[in-house]
Amino acid sequence: MNDLSQHGRLKSANLQSPVTPAIEARGLVKRFGELKAVDGIDLIVPRGMIFAILGPNGAGKTTLMRMLATLSQPDAGKATVMGHDLLEAPHEVRASIAMTGQFASLDEDLTGRENLVMLARLWGFRGRAARARADDLLAAFDLSDAANRQVKKYSGGMRRRLDIAASLIITPGVLFLDEPTTGLDPKARKDVWKMIRGLAESGVTILLTTQYLEEADQLAARIAVIDHGHKIAEGTSRELKAATGSGFLQVSIVDQAQLEDAAAILERRLGQSVQRSTEGAELSVLGGTAKEANEALAELIASGIELSDFSMGQPSLDEVFFALTGQPVTDETGKETAA
């Protein structure tokens, strides 16, 4: 893969076999003393995809990502990143990735521009080319006005943008983003999402970790759900939702007097306890499969219970996670900012 360091990424990417996934990991393990932070995870991330690793705090997301970015050595298992073996060719892996960690990896004393010029020079841009690259990135990330300000005076959103810009000095084959929007306000979060989508459109493979279900749902083509160092599920957002049933069936009854009859039918049909809304004659119940829900509705109608409305909601990823692990996914801080 010598050409990777000599030519533009796009060219070298075309020369590589298109079938090699961006990331291919088998049985990765990382121990910290007694604790198995990552306990045998397999992962295949196709090129050009946004792939999310979803899990609560301490699930092993960051550890997994740090191993794939050569920052931490796996205790067992194998992986290739853009076709390069993690253990045998770490330098080549580093040449084809970029990583934006959870905490801004910038020099706070320097200006935004100086940070980017420094990194551009480390990648091999000289003098004027390094400055030009820095200025281009600053413009693309809407930071030109703050270019000559020290990073410690940046807002959280600006810092995050600069941090991601710093990962794009060279177009990476894989961009690792560790919780890219943690701690950002909703506006800054939407900006970062837009940017991530833009990058993916240009062909960059993106592996991101998140504890926000909404984020994985919004961005990622595939999601791996991780808990206690294990991968407990993987698929598209739709597949994950389908795997845990069809979410809540909600019905509104025209005649209040029939409410208890209706509740009894739903309970019998779906084997779940029915929740009654406080005002109005609305019932909701975990719906089982679409077929079961359909049959339950048919029986309600056959029994002469008139419905003013019914709906079958897709389960939220929250419900998915709950179904998979038996515990809610987000902690308080997650809920608060996940809006």
* Single residue of 1, 29, 44, 71 touching another protein by CB under 8 A: 71
Least Cβ distance, residue 171 to another protein (angstroms): 5
Q: x-or-dash pattern for another protein, window 24-63, by CB under 8 A?
A: ----------------------------------------
Rg of the chain over Cα atoms, rounded to whole angstroms, equals 24
Tell me how far CA of residue 124 lies from CA of 5, 106, 110, 121, in angstroms: 10, 19, 20, 5
- Is 153 a binder of another protein (CB under 8 A)? no
Q: Which of 87, 103, 276, 313 binds another protein (CB under 8 A)?
A: 103
Residue 285 pairs with which residues in a beta bridge? Answer: 249
Between CA 312 and CA 249 the distance in angstroms is 5
CB of 252 to another protein, least distance (A): 41
Contact predicate 20/174, CB 8 Å: no
Of 15, 35, 87, 139, which lies in the binding site for another protein, with binding defined by CB under 8 A? 139
22 binds another protein (CB under 8 A): no
Please, which residue, 175 or 305, has the CB nearer to another protein? 175
AA letter at 282: E
Token pair for 20: 């090699």
CA distance 15 to 1: 10
> Which residues in 192-221 contact another protein (CB under 8 A)?
194-195, 197-199, 201-204
Contact range with another protein by CB under 8 A, out of 17-25, 48-56, 134-142, 300-308: 134-142
Pairwise CA distance, residues 99 & 166, whole Å: 9
- Counting every residue written for the chain, the total comes to 339
Residue 309, token pair as written in the block = 């409305």
For residue 308, what are its two tokens?
A: 């003013």
Pick the binder of another protein from 36, 94, 131, 228 (CB under 8 A): 94
Q: CB–CB of 149/100 below 8 Å?
A: no
List the one residue from 17, 19, 33, 91 that touches another protein (CB under 8 A): 91
Enumerate binding residues for another protein (CB under 8 A).
4-10, 66, 69-73, 91-92, 94-95, 97-99, 101-111, 114, 118-119, 121-126, 129, 133, 136-137, 139-143, 150, 161, 166, 168-171, 191, 194-195, 197-199, 201-204
